[in-house]
C-alpha cells in the first residue's frame, strides 16, 4: 500500500519438515497458506510457527496447529466478557525476548506468564491493567487481535457447521424450555448443539457459546 513498507528485516528459518518428513513438492507433503487458512484461524498458524525459534528446524504438523488453537482458546476465554482492554506498553520481558535474536518461543512463554497474572487478578476481582498488558504483548506477536466473541464463532471454510443465527435461536429456545421447567427439551437442545460442535456455558444472566 502507498506509504507503507512490507518489512525492514528478513530472517532465514531452519530446516522445514512436514508431519515428521522433509517437506517437498515431489513428496506432495506440503500445504499452501490458502489451504491452511481454510482449515484453521490465522492466529493459530502464527502461534504454531512462533513456538519454534527461527534458527531451529521446524516440524510443521496439523496437530501442532490444533494445539495452538486450543492454547489461544484459553487466552480468548480469559478475556471473554472483559471490557475493551486499556492500551498498555508491551511488557519489558516480552520485548527483551524479541530483542534476543527474535526469541519468539521465550516471548510466548512470557505471554503465558501474563495470562497467569491476569487470571490471578480476575479471581481476586482485582484486575488493574493486567488485561491491557496481556493484549499488548499478544498483539506485538500478531496474536489476540480479535474480539473474543468473533474468535469463538470462527468455523472452517466450506464446512457444514451450524450458522451463528441458528445457534442463537436454539439457545433462545433452550432458555424458554428451562423457564418452563421443560428440562428434557432443554437437554435435548444442548445435546444437539454439542453434536454440532457447539459448547455452551451458562452464566448467571446469559448463555455464551463457542465452537469446538
Secondary structure (H, E, C), 125-177: CCCCCHHHHHHHHHHHCCCCCCCHHHHHCCCCCCCCCCCHHHHHHHHHHHHHH
Pairing of strands 207-211, 198-202: antiparallel
Predicted pLDDT of residue 211 = 84
Cell numbers linked to 151: 474468535
Predicted pLDDT of residue 14 = 83
Predicted pLDDT of residue 67 = 97
* Ranges of the chain whose pLDDT falls below 70: 85
CA distance 186 to 72: 30
CA distance 107 to 209: 30
Predicted pLDDT of residue 174 = 94
Predicted pLDDT of residue 72 = 98
pLDDT, tens only, 116-129: 999 999 888 887 88
Count of other CB atoms within 10 angstroms of residue 168: 12
Predicted pLDDT of residue 122 = 87
pTM for the whole thing?
Answer: 0.81
Own/partner pairs for 158-167, CB < 8 Å, 24+ apart? Answer: 158/38, 161/196, 161/197, 161/211, 162/193, 162/196, 162/197, 162/198, 167/193, 167/196, 167/198, 167/209
Amino acid at each position: 500500500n502507498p506509504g507503507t513498507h512490507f518489512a525492514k528485516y528478513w530472517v532465514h528459518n531452519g530446516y522445514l519438515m512436514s508431519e515428521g518428513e522433509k517437506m517437498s513438492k515431489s513428496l506432495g507433503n506440503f500445504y499452501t497458506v490458502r489451504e491452511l487458512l481454510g482449515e484453521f484461524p490465522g492466529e493459530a498458524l502464527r502461534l504454531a510457527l512462533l513456538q519454534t525459534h527461527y534458527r531451529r528446524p521446524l516440524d510443521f504438523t496439523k496437530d501442532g496447529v490444533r494445539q495452538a488453537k486450543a492454547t489461544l482458546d484459553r487466552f480468548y476465554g480469559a478475556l471473554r466478557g472483559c471490557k475493551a482492554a486499556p492500551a498498555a506498553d508491551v511488557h519489558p520481558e516480552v520485548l527483551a525476548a524479541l530483542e534476543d535474536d527474535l526469541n519468539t518461543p521465550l516471548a510466548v512463554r512470557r505471554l503465558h506468564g501474563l495470562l497467569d497474572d491476569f487470571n490471578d487478578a480476575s479471581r481476586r476481582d482485582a484486575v488493574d491493567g493486567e488485561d491491557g498488558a496481556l493484549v499488548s504483548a499478544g498483539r506485538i506477536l500478531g496474536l489476540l487481535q480479535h474480539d473474543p466473541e468473533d474468535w469463538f464463532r470462527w468455523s472452517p471454510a466450506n464446512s457444514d457447521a451450524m450458522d451463528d443465527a441458528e445457534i442463537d435461536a436454539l439457545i433462545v429456545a433452550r432458555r424458554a424450555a428451562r423457564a418452563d421447567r421443560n428440562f428434557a427439551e432443554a437437554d435435548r437442545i444442548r445435546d444437539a448443539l454439542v453434536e454440532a460442535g457447539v459448547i455452551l456455558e451458562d452464566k448467571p444472566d446469559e448463555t455464551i457459546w463457542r465452537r469446538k
